[in-house]
Amino acid sequence: MKRQWLWLSVLFFVALSFLVWHTHQRRPLEELGRELEQLRWEGEPTNLVDLLPPIPPHQDGTPFYQAAIQSLQAIQAILPESVWDELDNFASLQPRQQINLVDVEKGLRAVQPALEMLRVALTYPHLRLVDWQVENPIELRFPHLSEMRQFARLLSAEALWRKRKGDMEGAIDSCIAILRLARRIGDEPSFIHFGLQGAIFAIGTDTIHQILADADASPQAYRALLRELQAWDINRDFVRGLQMERVMVIWLCDWMREEASRREMQAMVFPAVGRRRIELTFWLKRKSNLIAQNELLLLRHYRQAITLARKGMPYDWAKVLQLKEAWDRMVNRPAQSTLLLGGTEFTWNPNAVAAMARFEFPGKFLKATSLQTLQRLSETAIALRLYRQEHGRYPESLSALVTRYLPSVPIDPFDGKALRYRREGKGFRLWSIGQNRKDDGGMEGLRRWTEGDIVWVAVK
């Protein structure tokens, strides 16, 4: 009888242990399922179709963008490299050498067919230049990025050339085309595209600043420029970039769970560079659980980041830094080295998959804020020009621009206070406190984005 009870106790213990083990094994997958369901219930995108819906043919400018790129590539193949260098030098804020105007004119004539095709493309609201139909998001390629940046530089050179020829209306039109190109690229949301948008937008605003340094335009040209500056919802595209990153996390984790071998996962985390490393969790833990735990960690951090981004500028910098610090504590800490044998390092890091994301939240929020600052400074500078044309002088304060020129007093995206402004002689100085979030009195640092203020100066 005692032996029977003993066996029953053993069987009960084994069954209970199995039940606990099975429950523990299912928990990460169940928590992940609830998180994904919650996102869908909230209307958040969880797949590509949510962020890249089909485009009606009459709104699709893709064929024209492709034709413009092909035209540009054909011109690049036959035009001497010295001419391209001269075009870049001409559009530069600080030319490297004396400008050869003959080559500049030659280059601008040669690229006109490509620029005209680009202008046709810009009349359409949508584009799809990336092949999103790949099995694994790591396989995505963005071959058009350099051409889009080149188009912006060419339009900048065209604007400066038109100004040189006395065509200020045409110069402003070229600037508007640069700004519109930046906005259109956001139709394919990703942080790679958001970075490209920012680079092109900066080219556009720098060109506007150069053109207006010693010249003026008509009120109609200024108002058209102001409308285009105000048309880009930077925070919206910033949020969409974060959302696309989250979709790619879901996509990548699905692929790893369903298709990837443990060896492929190992190669993704530790490319064959330097000392060989083997992540033991990939080989000793249940793969579906390991991926679910990492995916859940990623999704919860993206939820917090997107919530902060949605609140708009000025962002809550304390919470942005707290989010980064929490990520570093959980994920970016060094993996525990367990053994070193024959030049191979064996590590144990349950968050190795999540660590591939390489979160740089503060940098991303600074990027978005810097772009909004460029936008706000440019809008305000144009509104000040309009005010001067109507009143014969610049105003004493920015409040004079409300509501005829701007809907409200322009706010510095870095601290939520009014942009700093003062009249200087016949011109003005307008500035944001910049990334150091310290008012340096309208003085730029040696490094434009990270030191000193971000400044717009007009001498007349």
Q: What confidence tens digit (pLDDT) does each residue in 80-111 have?
A: 998 988 888 888 866 666 888 899 999 999 99
Residue range 296-320: average pLDDT? 94
Question: What was the pLDDT predicted at 16?
Answer: 39
Domain that holds residue 287: 28-46+240-359
Kind and range of the H or E element at 427? strand 427-432
Shared-domain flag, residues 328 and 353: yes
Nearest to 434 by CA among 456, 460, 452, 407: 452
28: pLDDT confidence band, cut at 50, 70 and 90?
confident
Instruction: Tell me whether residue 41 is in a domain.
Output: yes
Last residue of a domain, one of 211, 232, 253: 232
DSSP 75-135: HHHHS-HHHHHHHHHHHSSS-SS---HHHHHHHHHHHHHHHHHHHHHTTSSB---S----S
Residue 5 is predicted with a pLDDT of 53
Domain membership of residue 364 (yes or no) is no
Strands in 344-348's sheet, in edge-to-edge order, are 276-279, 344-348, 336-341
DSSP of 211-256, one letter per residue? HTTS----HHHHHHHHHHHHH--HHHHHHHHHHHHHHHHHHHHHHH
Is residue 80 domain-shared with residue 167, that is, in the same domain? yes
Cα torsion angle, 383, 386, 390, 391, sign: positive
Q: Annotate 95-127 with b (16+ C-beta within 10 A) or e (fewer).
A: eeeeebeebbbebbebbeebbebbbebbebebb
> CA–CA distance from 355 to each of 125, 184, 309, 332 (Å)?
36, 32, 22, 6
Closest C-alpha to 415, from 382, 385, 443, 376: 376
Same domain for 423 and 333, yes or no, is: no
pLDDT digits (tens, 9 = 90+) for 127-180: 999 999 888 888 888 888 999 999 999 999 999 999 999 999 999 999 999 999
Choose the final residue of a domain: 301, 326, 359.
359
What does the pLDDT read at residue 268? 80
Percentage of residues in the chain with pLDDT exceeding 90? 63
Percent of the chain with pLDDT over 70: 89
Phi/psi zone of residue 276: left (φ > 0), alpha (ψ -120 to 50 degrees), beta?
Answer: beta
Centre a 10 Å sphere on the Cβ of residue 431 and count the other Cβ atoms it contains.
24
Q: Quick check: is 4 in a domain?
A: no
Over residues 38-47, the pLDDT tens digits come to 999 999 999 9
Residue 182 predicted with pLDDT over 80:
yes
- Structure tokens, 361: 């939240």
Residues 111 and 65 both lie in one domain: yes
Mean pLDDT of 400-414: 94
End position of a domain, from candidates 309, 329, 359:
359
H helices then E strands: how many in the chain?
Answer: 16, 6
Query: Which pLDDT score is estimated for 22?
Result: 41
Q: Is residue 432 part of a domain?
A: yes
Same-domain check for residues 143 and 251: no
User: Do 218 and 95 belong to one domain?
Assistant: yes
In this predicted structure, what is the pLDDT of residue 19? 38
Predicted confidence at residue 282, as pLDDT, reads 84
User: Does residue 23 have a pLDDT over 60?
Assistant: no
Is residue 186 one of the residues assigned to a domain?
A: yes
Does 369 map to a domain? no
Q: Which residue has the higher pLDDT, 262 or 238?
A: 238
* Residues 117 and 205 both lie in one domain: yes
Query: For 56-66, how does the pLDDT look when each residue is reduced to its tens digit (9 = 90+)?
Result: 999 999 999 99
Q: Tell me the H-state helices in 333-451.
A: 352-355, 361-391
pLDDT value for 275: 59
Domain co-membership, 205 together with 305: no
Residues 117 and 158 in one domain: yes
**Same domain for 218 and 69?**
yes
Please count the other Cβ atoms lying within 10 Å of the Cβ belonging to residue 270: 19
Give me the pLDDT at residue 10, please.
Answer: 47
The answer as to whether 15 is a domain residue is no
The mean pLDDT of 251-262, rounded to a whole number, is 89
User: Looking at the domain assignment, is residue 152 inside a domain?
Assistant: yes
Supply the Cα-derived Rg of the chain in whole angstroms: 27
3-state class of 420 per DSSP? strand
Handedness of CA 317, 319, 324, 329 (dihedral sign): positive
CB-based contact 368:191 (threshold 8 Å) = no
What is the three-class DSSP state of 346?
strand
Domains identified in the chain, total number: 3
Mean pLDDT estimate for the chain? 88
Verify that 258 and 179 share a domain, yes or no. Answer: no
Characterize the bridge pairing of strands 427-432 and 344-348: unpaired
Q: In which band, very low, low, confident or very high, does the pLDDT at 17 lie, cut at 50, 70 and 90?
A: very low
pLDDT of 243 strictly over 70: yes
> 300 and 177, same structural domain?
no
